[in-house]
């Protein structure tokens, strides 16, 4: 079972990974966006980490709800509201249980991904974070390693796609040939689940 500590470790591992990969995320965003994805997410997840250190949230749902709120209030552009909605919706779906199963997390994440699709209007194949998140949620039944692999494959598979949502869509066919920064950072978020599980 996954307790609040697991979810705190998940957010801390995501913050560390975003910090390590910030330059790469910004380089990807400079190709088809406005070159701020790395610094935006770094600011957001740094705020998440310090909020979670200050306020002791004792349920998985409360940890993710607080994290989502921090992302919405500290990250500008589209990625703050999208990531914030993902974590808040997931947290809300987990309710006030002290511990949740991997199956319950998968179900809650699906609600979170649905929230992101409703907010951004993106579907799978539009070259967005959904292309990493949706396959990861499907794979979660087979464990965190499977989810990580599915998210990474999904992110890589955005390269040949033409963007149909977000800033990259303004580029039309010129968005083809570049890996989507949002799908790439989403794969980092999913990969961090495996790190959190390792303790």
Distance CA 81, CA 99 (A): 27
| Cβ distance to Mg ion smaller for residue 37 or 148 | 37
CB of 29 to Mg ion, least distance (A): 5
- Other CB atoms within a 10 A radius of the CB of residue 1 amount to 11
For Mg ion, give the closer residue by CB, 61 or 80.
Answer: 80
For Mg ion, the closer of residues 33 and 61 by Cβ is: 33
Chain positions 57 to 96 lying near Mg ion, rule: CB under 5 A, are none
Q: Which two tokens stand for residue 157?
A: 């598979």
Shortest Å distance, C-beta 36 to Mg ion: 4
Distance CA 147, CA 195 (A): 12
Reported as half-sphere exposure (CB side, CA atoms, 13 A), residue 129 has a value of 30
Site pattern 7..36 for Mg ion (x: CB under 5 A): ----------------------x---xx-x
Q: Do residues 108 and 115 touch, judged by C-beta distance below 8 A?
A: no
Q: Which run of H or of E encompasses 195?
A: helix 181-198
- Residue with smallest beta-carbon separation from Mg ion: 33
Q: Which residue ranges make up the site for Mg ion (CB under 5 A)?
A: 29, 33-34, 36-37
């Amino acid at each position: 079972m996954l307790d609040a500590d697991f979810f705190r470790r998940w957010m801390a591992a995501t913050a560390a990974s975003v910090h390590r990969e910030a330059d790469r995320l910004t380089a990807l965003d400079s190709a088809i966006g406005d070159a701020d994805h790395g610094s935006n997410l770094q600011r957001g997840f740094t705020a998440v980490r310090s909020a979670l250190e200050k306020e002791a949230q004792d349920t998985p749902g409360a940890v993710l709800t607080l994290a989502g709120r921090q992302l919405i209030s500290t990250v500008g552009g589209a990625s703050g509201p999208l990531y914030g909605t993902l974590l808040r919706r997931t947290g809300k779906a987990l309710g006030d249980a002290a511990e949740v199963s991997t199956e319950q997390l998968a179900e809650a994440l699906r609600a979170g991904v649905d929230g992101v699709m409703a907010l951004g209007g993106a579907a799978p194949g539009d070259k967005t974070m959904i292309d990493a998140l949706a396959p990861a949620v499907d794979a979660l039944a087979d464990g965190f390693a499977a989810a990580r692999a599915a998210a990474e494959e999904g992110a890589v598979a955005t390269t040949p796609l033409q963007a149909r949502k977000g800033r990259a869509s303004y580029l039309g066919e010129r968005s083809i040939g570049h890996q989507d920064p949002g799908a790439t950072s989403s794969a980092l978020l999913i990969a961090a689940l495996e790190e959190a599980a390792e303790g």
